[in-house]
């Protein structure tokens, strides 16, 4: 990306202002990037922990496979999931508030005794699965924002700030050369005038 500029003081001032803006913004962007990086790691770890917990819970009920064959899975449904939004380093992320389950009516006298426990188990497994999905979504959003912030940090650090500094250096040299030429021209004119006066 080449920076467009003109060889004059106005352009020099404009570049100086833009450079200051970027130099002031860079530390904030770096802090945001590191905060996002740690939040991404935290969300990833939480999702992995929930995944492991879910697998352990499912493993606990492996020996009850025959019983689950009797269970009617239509008894429990997820009716709604309440999510709120939390801002983390300027990024809106989902937060799980509440899960609403719909439990279909059943006759406890005609069904096995463990159906009530089965409903509680399914609710807990569903809660873990939904919570894991929320954490995964949070991780995706934060990671996307982190990548964008990293790109901006690299753009400022490696392209724009050096580009503005280089452009300002070129303008200053040009203006200094122009000033030196002007002074030299004035001296030549003055010398000629003095020589003409002497003659």
Categorize the per-residue pLDDT at 66 as very low, low, confident or very high, splitting at 50, 70 and 90: low
Task: Please check whether residue 66 lies inside any domain of the structure.
Answer: yes
- By C-alpha distance, which of 29, 17, 10, 12 is closest to 154? 29
Task: Please check whether residue 176 lies inside any domain of the structure.
Answer: yes
For 159-169, what is the mean pLDDT?
A: 92
Task: Please check whether residue 195 lies inside any domain of the structure.
Answer: no
pLDDT, residue 156, reads 93
Which positions ≥6 away from 73 have C-beta within 8 Å? Answer: 122
Task: Report the range out of 62-71, 91-100, 109-118, 183-192 with the highest average pLDDT.
Answer: 91-100
Task: Please check whether residue 1 lies inside any domain of the structure.
Answer: no
For 87-113, what is the mean pLDDT?
A: 86
Categorize the per-residue pLDDT at 154 as very low, low, confident or very high, splitting at 50, 70 and 90: very high
pLDDT, residue 87, reads 93
pLDDT, residue 27, reads 95
Task: Please check whether residue 36 lies inside any domain of the structure.
Answer: yes
Question: Between the CA of residue 119 and those of 51, 68, 75, 96, 129, what are the distances in Å?
Answer: 21, 11, 8, 21, 15
Give the tokens for residue 60: 């606990």
**pLDDT above 70 for 65:** no
- By C-alpha distance, which of 16, 17, 47, 50 is closest to 140? 47
**pLDDT above 70 for 111:** yes
Task: Please check whether residue 196 lies inside any domain of the structure.
Answer: no
For 188-196, what is the mean pLDDT?
A: 86
Exposure b/e, 36-72, CB count within 10 A at least 16 = b? bbebbeebbebbeebeeebeeeeeeeeeeeeeeeebe
**pLDDT above 80 for 85:** yes
Task: Please check whether residue 194 lies inside any domain of the structure.
Answer: no
Domain membership of residue 90 as a residue range: 9-188
pTM over 0.95: no
Give the tokens for residue 180: 């030196």
pLDDT, residue 199, reads 66
**pLDDT above 60 for 11:** yes
Question: Between the CA of residue 155 and those of 29, 58, 71, what are the distances in Å?
Answer: 11, 47, 58
Domain of 65: which CATH number? Answer: 1.10.287.3240
Q: How many domains does the chain have?
A: 1
pLDDT, residue 195, reads 84
Task: Please check whether residue 134 lies inside any domain of the structure.
Answer: yes
- By C-alpha distance, which of 113, 81, 117 is closest to 99? 81
pLDDT, residue 1, reads 57
């Amino acid at each position: 990306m080449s920076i467009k500029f003109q060889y004059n003081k106005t352009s020099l001032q404009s570049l100086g202002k833009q450079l200051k803006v970027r130099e002031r913004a860079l530390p904030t962007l770096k802090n945001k990037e590191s905060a996002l990086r740690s939040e991404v790691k935290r969300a990833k770890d939480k999702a992995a922990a929930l995944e492991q917990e879910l697998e352990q819970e499912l493993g606990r009920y492996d020996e009850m496979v025959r019983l689950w064959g009797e269970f009617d899975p239509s008894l429990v449904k997820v009716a709604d999931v309440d999510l709120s939004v939390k801002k983390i380093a300027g990024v809106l992320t989902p937060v799980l508030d509440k899960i609403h389950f719909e439990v279909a009516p059943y006759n406890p006298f005609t069904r096995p005794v463990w159906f009530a426990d089965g409903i509680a188990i399914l609710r807990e497994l569903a809660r873990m699965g939904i919570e894991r999905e929320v954490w995964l979504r949070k991780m995706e959003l934060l990671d996307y924002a982190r990548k964008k912030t990293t790109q901006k940090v690299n753009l400022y650090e490696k392209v724009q700030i050096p580009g503005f500094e280089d452009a300002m250096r070129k303008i200053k040299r040009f203006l200094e050369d122009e000033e030196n030429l002007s002074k030299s021209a004035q001296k030549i004119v003055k010398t000629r005038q003095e020589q003409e006066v002497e003659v």
